[in-house]
Chains A and B, each alone.
Chain A
Amino acid sequence: MNGDAPDGDDGGDASADGFHFDQARWSDGDRHEPLSSEKRTTEAEYDDSPLPDDLTRDELELPKLEEPDLVRHYTRLSEMNYGIDSGPYPLGSCTMKYNPAFTEDVAADPNGLVHPDRPVAGVQGTLSVLYSLQDYLARIGGMDAVTLQPPAGAAGEFTGVLVADAYHEHNGGDRSEIIVPESAHGTNFASAALAGFDVVSLPGGEDGRVDLEALEEALSEDTALLMLTNPNTLGLFERDIEQIADMVHDAGGLLYYDGANLNALLGRGRPGDMGFDVMHYNVHKTFATPHGGGGPGAGPVGVVDELAEFLPDPQVVEAPDASPLKYEFETPERSIGKVHGKYGNWLVLAKAYAYIARLGNDGLNDASAKAVLNANYLASQVEYDVPYGPFHHEFVASAGDQDAADVAKRMLDYGVHPPTTKWPEIVSEALMTEPTEIEGKRTLDQLARAFNAVASEDDETLAAAPERTTAARIDQTEAARDLRLSWRALDD
């Protein structure tokens, strides 16, 4: 146990410190809660169909649970699930913040629950919120124009890449390469490829940052874009960012900011001021909208003036004075078109607006301060080695001789969600840890105890974990080899 850890009511080793976790486990024979289809099904009737037979299906049988049973079914499932509201969730790179309850109420306002094809005169309220959010995000990122259309971070990347492509094409360039650091998130590579670019993978420098020599080598007249996140996935600030921007711009390329790690910079550093030309904001991370078990999110894209004419169709703008309306839609002059069928994920955007308004300047500033403080404090209490620093909102520890995936499974037994594991690969057996600003010292100490308890356990214990979760260790190989992707496949 680290000497700085508190003694007192909850001192001692993690498994016996008075904190004990057992996740709910509803069981019914060799399954947990039965599938809805194993409870009750009904069949549709087509005899009274208003359509000719040849346009109608022959049969359909689906589960049907009457409301009391429906409520129990999903309540039990929810009890067998772990969210931020259950406990700490330091999943690196995912910024699992508390999702303020009131933002749900704001998004549920029935006046906002309208059809997307209403005439603009009928959605002036919605457009007002969207316009204000565009403005907030532009301020926070130091950008000149923002689109709210991309429905997630990866969709934002794709949008940014298309914008860069359109910009180069408009300027007579034919650039085919996008440079992505080896340690970047998988979506950076995949988004570049989706847009038809060749991906040039940039090896990292010894200090965990961009290696300027390697960058020089990678840059060429084919370079369309360099995609960076800053702080990078090790939590390190790219100190040479201005020089990097100059190098990329001198080569005729553009600089993209992956906003996944913006939480470290809120109110203290703006991508636009660092030379980035285009960025996405990861709203479900930085602006505390719920992750919903995998989504929805939102990935608005900000650009500098020069790129604004390429943004997706449409933008929300202020209507001219002569108009009876306050806001209207406008198609940017050389728009790339659309990346979402309509205007993106409204419910998510409304929650993000409310969150930003709640925090304001000082709150945003304080959020990054506390996020960085928490990561540093937690790292100081954890016995695993953290090879790279100084880090900001997240740190990447190494599990050393232990298997990081096993460490994660064992941490579950201590009632915490484990870090992201085995990425970035530059740290062996990586434990990428991002506590965010929402945890106080008491929770961070609990997390540290979980880390440290696992650090001292043997491989056998780790391999047998988890024990206190709904499910014991799940066989991934079986799942992939003997594919059963629907209840139909279970009967075979």
Chain B
Amino acid sequence: MNGRETTGTPYAPHGDAETREMLDAVGVDTEEDLFDIPESVRFDGDLGIDARTEREIRAEMADELAKNRDLTELLGRGHYDYYVPSAVEHLADRSEFLTSYTQYQPEVTQGFLQALFEYQSLLVELTGLGIANCSMYDAATALGEAATLAERLRVTSGSRVLVPEHLESGRRAVLANYVAGTDLVVESYAMDDGNADVDALTDRVDDETVMVYAETPTVRGCIEEHLDALGDLADDNDALFVLGSDPVSLALLEEPASVGADVVVGSASALGLPQSYGMDLGLFACREDFVRQVPGRLVGASTDADGTRTYTLTLQTREQHIRRERATSNICTNQAWVALRAAMHATGLGADGLADLAKRDVADARDLAARVDDVKGVQAPHHDRHHLREFVAHTDQPAPAIGDDLVDEGYAVHVLDEHHVQLCTVGTTEAERDDFVAALTEVAR
């Protein structure tokens, strides 16, 4: 039909007779006649992509992915391997959810809207803040959006954004790009044994500071013990206090609103999403009075013409499709389906189930650190703090070599620098941790 042998796409149902009928209705001879593309820019070549059958592609990709090594991961730093119940997988895959898009027509998409409303509400409970949006791309872009929010809200002429010295490099790099279009300047403040160095920070914060960022737990798994002081410092200087965390930790640790957090960002994909090579769900919650400056989608309750409680996207006048270059963010497509999964997972766990996960994570990290500390040539935890899920260990021998040797033994750990590794307990069984300690004992001496 288009001058080439064509097998066609398997996902268009047109038979030849049907195609003919449609072409006749339009009044053209061939599909080619419908393209108003100047000859000079038409592509007549071959893209060099061979079509395969489903069976072939599944076999090919299974073969390729089987080349990923079978490693026991003691990896964390923002991405955690919590078990996602089968029920969540199956429910999220219901195609009425999966194959829908943004709820521009709320009357026919009440189901998804209600799930997103529940997601927002869960984060409101966990953070104590008035509102949560229904998603940013990931923790790093959520942090970036928090900085641009700080810029829009600032009451001083300042431009300083203070972030902890221990900050995951991807988050720091994304933040740098989100502030590139502003006059904001990102500076690090020092840590003291794995927590914010409050004295150092006190010296740094001034009325030019528009945002203070802290994390609990920190990227190294340390529970931040100075949140109250940090909140006060920010508040005294009219700076936004932005706290990074995640829904599991929030079920156990101090409520962000109670320590003066104005915004909470972080990764919410600990819930609902298996490890997906860094795919994430950006959490974003903030004080209610920021509502007109919030980035991203918001679902609100309303009433329909029959008087029934319903849900709809609201305050869209903040968004790019209406406000264009003055929008609160450029985000359009987001991570709604991951938010749906997180809500499902959290609702299955409940407050007790979530808190139990976090308690176990504290206990497991403490236990593994103690056992690793018994290994000759290793001291753990490196920071004298409470830990959740993970901790840093000091190694007498070069850490990169230990990391390599551990890979050979079937374990992946974070190698931080010449003499530090970081170990995370989430997703490993007790037996696996036993074996790991034995392997570490072999390679660390």
A357-B57, A485-B131 given as contacts; is B104 within 8 A of A362 (CB)? no
A341 touching B140, Cβ below 8 Å? yes
Q: Which residues of A contact B322 (CB under 8 A)?
A: 186
**A195: contacting residue among B8, B180, B308, CB under 8 A:** B180
Chain B residues near A67: list those with CB within 8 A.
85, 87, 348
Q: Closest chain B residue to A97 by CB distance?
A: B11
Which listed residue, B51, B98, B139, touches A359 by the CB 8 Å rule?
Answer: B51
Q: Do the beta carbons of A154 and B333 come within 8 Å of each other?
A: yes
CB 8 Å contact bits of B9-27 with A (1 = contact, 0 = none):
1111110001101110111
- How far, in whole Å, are A29 and B312 apart by their CA atoms in the complex? 19
* Bound form: Cα–Cα A136–B355 in Å: 45
In angstroms, Cα B140 to Cα A339, docked, is 8
- Given A31-B309, A49-B359, CB of A373 within 8 Å of CB of B19: yes
Comparing A233-241, A396-404, A453-461, the segment that makes contact with chain B is: A233-241
A186/B321 in contact, CB under 8 A: yes
The reply to whether B106 and A269 form a contact with Cβ atoms under 8 Å apart is no
Chain B contacts for A48, CB-based, 8 A: 359
Q: What are 19 A-B contacts with C-beta separation under 8 Å?
A: A64-B347, A82-B109, A102-B54, A116-B277, A117-B79, A124-B68, A152-B331, A186-B320, A186-B321, A292-B98, A295-B334, A341-B278, A366-B6, A372-B34, A412-B105, A412-B108, A464-B305, A475-B302, A485-B291
Contact with B along A32-54 (1 / 0, CB 8 A): 11011100011111101111101
A-B pairs with CB below 8 Å: how many? 680
One of A11-19, A55-63, A249-257 at the interface: A55-63
Contact of B51 among A37, A152, A360 (CB under 8 A): A360
Please state if A128 and B254 are interface contacts (CB–CB under 8 Å). no
Residues of A within 8 A of B221 (CB): none
Q: Which residues of A contact B67 (CB under 8 A)?
A: 124-125, 128
Confirm or deny: A220 has a beta carbon within 8 angstroms of a beta carbon on chain B: no
- From B52, B61, B75, B366, contact of A129 by CB (8 A): B61
A415 and B18 CA atoms in complex are apart in Å by 23
Q: Is the CB of A189 within 8 A of B324?
A: yes
Residues of B within 8 A of A490 (CB): 301, 309
- Say whether A362 contacts B7, CB under 8 Å: yes
With beta carbons under 8 angstroms apart, the residue of B99, B148, B299, B323 that contacts A194 is B148
Contact flag A381-B25 (CB < 8 Å), given A81-B100, A290-B99, A358-B52:
yes
Q: Which of B11, B19, B253, B350 contacts A63 (CB 8 A)?
A: B350
> Is B434 engaged at the interface, CB distance under 8 Å to the other chain?
no
Contact with B along A284-307 (1 / 0, CB 8 A): 100010111111110000000000
Query: Which residue on A lies nearest to B317, using beta carbons?
Result: A480
Query: What interface size band does chain A fall in?
Result: 35 or more
Point out the residue from A104, A151, A372 that lies within 8 Å of B35, measured CB to CB. A372
**Chain B residues within 8 Å of A70, by CB:** 87, 91, 344, 347-348
0 or 1 for each of A5-28: is its CB under 8 Å from B? (1 = yes): 000000000000000000100010
- When distances are taken between beta carbons in the complex, the residues of chain B under 8 Å from A55 are 223, 225, 253-254, 386
Given A82-B109, A292-B98, A486-B124, 5 other A-B residues pairs in contact with their CB atoms under 8 A: A54-B254, A62-B347, A128-B64, A290-B99, A363-B8
Interface residues as binary, B309-333 with A (CB distance below 8 Å gives 1, 0 otherwise): 1101011010111111111011111
Pick from A136, A341, A381: contact of B174, CB under 8 Å:
A341
> A288-B11, A361-B49, A476-B312 are known contacts. Are A65 and B26 too (CB-CB below 8 A)?
no
Residues of B within 8 A of A412 (CB): 105, 107-108
CB-contact partner of B96 in A86, A118, A267, A268, under 8 A: A86
Complex Cα distance, B251 from A401, in Å, reads 54
Which B residues from 100 to 121 make CB contacts under 8 A with A?
100-112, 114-118, 120-121
User: Is there an interface contact between B37 and A350, defined as CB atoms closer than 8 Å?
Assistant: no
CB nearest to A109 among chain B residues: B65
Complex-state Cα separation, A116 to B275, whole angstroms: 8
Q: Does B73 contact A (CB under 8 A)?
A: yes
Interface string of A73-97 (1 = CB under 8 A from B): 1111111111111100101001011
- Chain B residue numbers with a CB within 8 Å of A273 are 41, 43
Contact B36 A390 (CB under 8 A): yes
- State A58–B251 Cα separation when bound (angstroms): 10
Residues of B within 8 A of A441 (CB): 14, 18, 21-22
A74: which B residues are within 8 A, CB to CB?
Answer: 91, 94, 115, 344
Closest to B183 in A: A196
Contact A423 B101 (CB under 8 A): no
Which A residues are in CB contact (< 8 Å) with B280?
A: 341-342
Report the bound CA distance from A80 to B298 in whole Å. Answer: 19
B431 at the interface (CB under 8 A from A): no
Given A296-B279, A363-B10, is A190 in contact with B330 using a C-beta cutoff of 8 Å?
A: yes
Q: In the complex, A392→B31 CA distance in Å? A: 11
B180 contacts A196, C-beta separation under 8 Å: yes
A214 on the interface (CB 8 Å rule)? no
B25 touches A377 (CB 8 A): yes
Shortest C-beta distance, B75 to chain A (Å), equals 4
Q: Which of chain A's residues 409-458 have a Cβ closer than 8 Å to chain B?
A: 409, 412, 417-418, 420, 423, 437-441, 444
Q: Is the beta-carbon distance between B106 and A194 smaller than 8 angstroms?
A: no
Q: How far is the CA of A345 from the CA of B338 in the complex (A)?
A: 11
> How far in angstroms is the closest Cβ of chain A from B344?
6
Chain A residues with CB under 8 A of B51: 357-363
Bound Cα distance from A111 to B60, whole angstroms = 13
Residues of A within 8 A of B177 (CB): 158, 162, 336-339
The yes or no answer to A320 lying at the interface (CB within 8 A) is no
- State the CA gap A342–B31 with chains docked (Å): 42
A100 on interface, CB distance cutoff 8 Å: yes
Bitwise interface map of A from 314 to 347 toward B, beta carbon under 8 Å scored 1, else 0: 0000000000000000000000111111111111
User: At the interface, yes or no: A175 with Cβ under 8 Å from chain B?
Assistant: no
Least Cβ–Cβ distance between B25 and chain A, in angstroms: 5
Contacts of B252 in A (CB 8 A): 44, 46, 49, 51, 56-57
Taking a contact as CB atoms under 8 Å apart, the answer to whether B57 and A102 are in contact is yes
**Are B49 and A418 closer than 8 Å at their CB atoms?**
no
- Quick check: is B93 within 8 A (CB to CB) of the other chain? yes
Task: List, in ascending order, chain B residues with CB within 8 A of A236's CB.
Answer: 36
Nearest B residue to A420 via CB reads B104
| Residue in B closest to A350 when the chains form the complex, CB atoms | B61
- Given A124-B68, A362-B4, A485-B120, A65 and B348 touching (CB < 8 A)? yes
Residue of B nearest to A139 (CB): B47
Does B6 contact A471, Cβ atoms closer than 8 Å?
A: no
Closest-by-CB residue of A relative to B176 is A337
Please state if A291 and B35 are interface contacts (CB–CB under 8 Å): no
In contact, A291 and B101 (Cβ under 8 angstroms): yes
User: B132 contacts which chain A residues (CB < 8 A)?
Assistant: 485-486
**A293 engages B275 (CB within 8 Å):** no
Closest residue on chain B to residue A103 by CB atoms? B57
Chain B residues with CB below 8 A from A58, complex form: 255
**B275 contacts A114, C-beta separation under 8 Å:** yes
Give the chain B neighbours of A60 by CB distance below 8 A. 125-126, 251, 351, 354-355
- How far in angstroms is the closest Cβ of chain B from A324? 12
Chain B residues in 8 Å Cβ range of A126: 65, 68, 277
On whether the beta carbons of B276 and A471 are closer than 8 Å, the reply is: no
B300 interface residue per 8 A CB criterion: yes
Given A114-B68, A193-B325, A119 contacting B412 (CB threshold 8 A): yes
User: Complex formed: what's the CA distance from A344 to B37 in Å?
Assistant: 33
Q: For residue A86, which residues in chain B have a CB less than 8 angstroms away from its CB?
A: 95-96, 99
Give B80 Cβ to nearest chain A Cβ, in Å. 9
Query: Assuming A51-B252, A124-B67, is B6 touching A485 (CB within 8 A)?
Result: no
Given contacts A154-B320, A342-B277, A346-B278, contact A81 B112 (CB under 8 A): yes
Contact of B9 among A139, A155, A366 (CB under 8 A): A366
Return the contact of B308 from the options A154, A381, A409, A471 (Cβ within 8 A).
A471
Interface set, chain A 349-375, CB cutoff 8 A to B: 350, 353-354, 356-367, 369-370, 372-374
Q: Closest residue to A68 on the B side, CB-wise?
A: B87
**Chain B residues, CB < 8 A from A237:** 35-37
Using A74-B94, A78-B91 as known contacts, say yes or no to A357 and B52 having CB atoms under 8 A apart: yes
